[in-house]
Amino acid sequence: MSRPNFIKDMSLAPLGRRLIEAAEHEMPGLLATREKYAASKPLAGIRVCGSLHMTVQTAVLIDTLKALGADIRWCSCNIFSTVDAAAAYIAAQGIPVFAYKGETLEDYWNFTLETITFPGMKGPQQIVDDGGDVTLLLHKGFAAENDPSILDHAESEEERILAALVRRCLRERPGWFHQVVPEVVGVSEETTTGCNRLYSMMAEHRLLFPAVNVNQSVTKSKFDNLYGTRHSLLDGIVRATDVMIAGKTCVVCGFGDVGKGCVASLRGQGARVIVTEIDPICALQASMSGLEVRTLEECLPLADIYVTATGNCDIIKAHHMSQMKDQAIVCNIGHFDNEIDVAGLHAFPGVRHENIKPQVDKWIFPDNHCIILLAEGRLVNLGCAMGHPSFVMSNSFTNQTLAQLAIARREYTKVGVYVLPKILDEEVARLHLGKLNVHLTTLSPKQAAYIGVKVEGPYKSDDYRY
């Protein structure tokens, strides 16, 4: 049933190659890891599938996993996040890849299924997941083979599409999920929301294979989520709108790692930033960083730009948007598109819609005031720009590669959610210091003994918060 690939345009492959070569210069940790393991090929013959934004940086990760010997299939984890030139570059190497910018939801889930279906109807042995959609499909298919009635409770359009796909699988490949799930050795999960899903499944005793929480590595969440966002939020808003940020009033919903990056991004431009939070600790942090902390309702008459960064649902509802200032810009940078109630916007009585350009839409309310919605409520930095820059993704993807190697070494055999050891986290950081001309101080044995660590690290306890 499987196709060799599904991409937009193979003629973009040379452009993809040039972009990837440029990115490699900014990805020292990932390339050093590739170099270290390329000769021994520790992933030789292992079926690895990935569902992670098919960007230029992800292409460097795929090249790395390939150099380590993996048998790879890939798709994007968002309908808008593919860089078509990067997908073409991967396809041109004969790696099955299913991704184009602007996928339909049907294509998205078909591509996820294609990605987990290796030749001979085999399933993956290892998974690189971002947001958990491969993990979800495998678990949903497995559960539906036990009890197909679980597919009757779909609430959103996307859930209905996923349920229809799984029903088709039950007809066309009966028993397939029970056949392939036991062969999954582990998944490495990239993002906060995907990890939250894993912990929920674990707590409900539903998780079927071991998982590595890559997001928990300090060199992932305290870098990608923060510094990556600080760069790419602005990139997304500016490419989409060209609006001047300086002097504007901006609202950032959620002051976690991503929210902190968003605030820094907007403040760096001279915006006045207001934060909404539900957690008193994060609210106090925001306040003591000099930010106002208000409810969303209080912000509605004031704000020009809204960014959701909570990883939670129902943050900006249609009735909120109906009360915003004329031309207010609304976007989301959290993983899923349920932070902004786009379905409610479609259903709002008397609302009109005008597409300005791809991923930029004007929604006009009956009183003729409008809001500008970016990337249809999907993550703006990948929908309207190219995602985080290479250097920060090198940190994230070095962690991903180390997690895949640990899974291949069968370091995590019991079902559970694991975190990479601190010494590896420090190693990932170390691999990036040279590029920034950082000169590290070396502990003397006396100093090391005094603070109770080894000269070579790890330098902090596992619960240190950075």
Helix or strand run (H / E) with residue 272:
strand 272-276
- Residue 241: CB minimum distance to ligand NAD, A: 17
For ligand NAD, the closer CB: 110 or 217: 217
For ligand NAD, the closer CB: 123 or 334: 334
CA-to-CA separations, 24 to 28, 75, 167, 383, 385, in angstroms, rounded: 7, 21, 42, 23, 19
Residue 209 DSSP label: S
Binding test (CB under 6 A) with ligand NAD, winner from 159, 279, 326, 354: 279
> Which residues does 437 contact at the CB level (< 8 Å), separation at least 6?
none
CA–CA separation, 408 and 65 (whole Å): 12
Answer yes or no whether residue 81 interacts with ligand NAD by CB under 6 A: no
- Residue 360: CB minimum distance to ligand NAD, A: 17
- Residue 124: CB minimum distance to ligand NAD, A: 22
Binding test (CB under 6 A) with ligand NAD, winner from 50, 132, 256, 389: 256
What tokens were used for 162? 């996923």
CA-to-CA separations, 414 to 114, 130, 135, 209, in angstroms, rounded: 28, 22, 17, 8
For ligand NAD, the closer CB: 71 or 235: 235
Q: Which of residues 387-446 bind ligand NAD (CB under 6 A)?
A: 388
Q: Which of residues 323-342 bind ligand NAD (CB under 6 A)?
A: 333-335
- Residue 260: CB minimum distance to ligand NAD, A: 7
Question: What residue number has its CB nearest to ligand NAD?
Answer: 256
- Residue 151: CB minimum distance to ligand NAD, A: 25
- In terms of Cα–Cα distance, which of 365, 389, 367, 387 is closest to 375? 387
The binding track of 300-319 with respect to ligand NAD, each residue x by CB under 6 A or -, is ---------xxxx--x----
- Residue 324: CB minimum distance to ligand NAD, A: 17
What tokens were used for 158? 């996307």
- Residue 57: CB minimum distance to ligand NAD, A: 11
CB 413 within 8 A of CB 210: yes
- Residue 148: CB minimum distance to ligand NAD, A: 30
Answer yes or no whether residue 282 interacts with ligand NAD by CB under 6 A: yes
Binding test (CB under 6 A) with ligand NAD, winner from 193, 265, 394, 404: 193
What tokens were used for 41? 């090929």
CB 309 within 8 A of CB 258: yes
> Which residues does 376 contact at the CB level (< 8 Å), separation at least 6?
80, 337, 342, 359, 361, 383
CA–CA separation, 316 and 342 (whole Å): 9
What tokens were used for 255? 């002051």
Three-state secondary structure call for residue 301: coil
What tokens were used for 66? 């390939």
Answer yes or no whether residue 133 interacts with ligand NAD by CB under 6 A: no
Total residues interacting with ligand NAD, rule: CB under 6 A: 29
Q: Which of residues 209-248 bind ligand NAD (CB under 6 A)?
A: 221, 224-225
Binding test (CB under 6 A) with ligand NAD, winner from 277, 304, 337, 427: 277
Residues that bind ligand NAD (CB under 6 A): 191-193, 221, 224-225, 253-259, 276-279, 282, 309-312, 315, 333-335, 379, 381, 388
